[in-house]
Amino acid sequence: MHKKEAPKHLKYPEINRLLDAVLSQAREILGEKLVGLYLYGSLVAGDFDYEISDVDFLAATETLIDENEFAALEKMHNQLVKDNLEWENRIEIAYVSLDALKTFKTRQSQIANISPGEPFHFLEAGKDWLLNWYFVRENSVTIFGEPPVTIIAPISKDEFIQAVREQAGERGKNVELAKHSRPYQAYLIMTVCRALYAVKNGEQVSKRRAASWAQKQFPEYFSLIENAFEWRANSRDENVNHEATFPEAKKFVNYIIDKIVGE
């Protein structure tokens, strides 16, 4: 595991305040039931974009969240957004019991989760969350608690790569959803580049690093990959012909997915 110190962003003090607020308020609600809080995703991986990237947390709990705790956490999340409007719809926190983190490969368990596009809610999570827990184990910041390798079941490199392949296959089934969204096209382009890098090299890297690698591997798509970062950076631009870029984006995404699944 890559051990990291909790990040301090001198350029973006709001991020420090957000991390402090999540930890202090979660501890106030859950008390000793909160056994660990871990930051992962782009903020740790190195390709965080302050304007559009999400902030991802795992909150490990001694036991399942009960209804009273759920109500208090829901109120907390609503207030966090009111106090930090720039993070509206950009925070993902999963509250997961220690038992669920040990048994996710063999059975589903209830977790509480809030994520972009979804309200705070209960859901069933199992092996479909393997990639998330792999990233927490291998590349996260411990905000509070024990190192994540002590509470999350071991995940082999083969299990990680197989999960990457399966996720890529699912993205291929939904590529048509990007027809009317150039930002989603950009997301798919960058995501499949990173997935292919993982399959080929056995590790997860930032989207930028994986994209640079893919540009060298597939020079015929150099410009498309470069454009994807511009599309993502300008995701709020409404004067866009989304469908104009879709055919080439779809062709590339399907091409790379075929390579991922076929490896």
Structure tokens at 213: 């690698």
For 16-70, what is each residue's pLDDT tens digit? Answer: 888 999 999 999 999 999 999 999 998 888 788 888 889 999 999 999 999 999 9
Vertex 215: Cα angle to 210 and 220 (nearest 5): 150
pTM score of the predicted model = 0.89
Mean pLDDT of the chain: 91
For 154-201, what is each residue's pLDDT tens digit? Answer: 999 999 999 999 999 998 888 999 999 999 999 999 999 999 999 999
Residue 118 has a pLDDT of: 92
Write down the architecture of domain 13-154 according to CATH.
Answer: 2-Layer Sandwich (3.30)
CB 97 within 8 A of CB 72: no
CB 34 within 8 A of CB 26: yes
For 216-227, what is each residue's pLDDT tens digit? Answer: 999 999 999 999
Which segment of 77-86, 87-96, 186-195 scores lowest on mean pLDDT?
Answer: 77-86
Q: Where are the extended beta strands (E) located within the chain?
A: 34-40, 55-61, 91-97, 109-115, 118-125, 141-145
Residue 178 has a pLDDT of: 95
CB 145 within 8 A of CB 60: yes
Query: In the chain, what are the domain boundaries?
Result: 13-154, 158-262
In the predicted structure, residue 10 carries a pLDDT above the cut 60: no
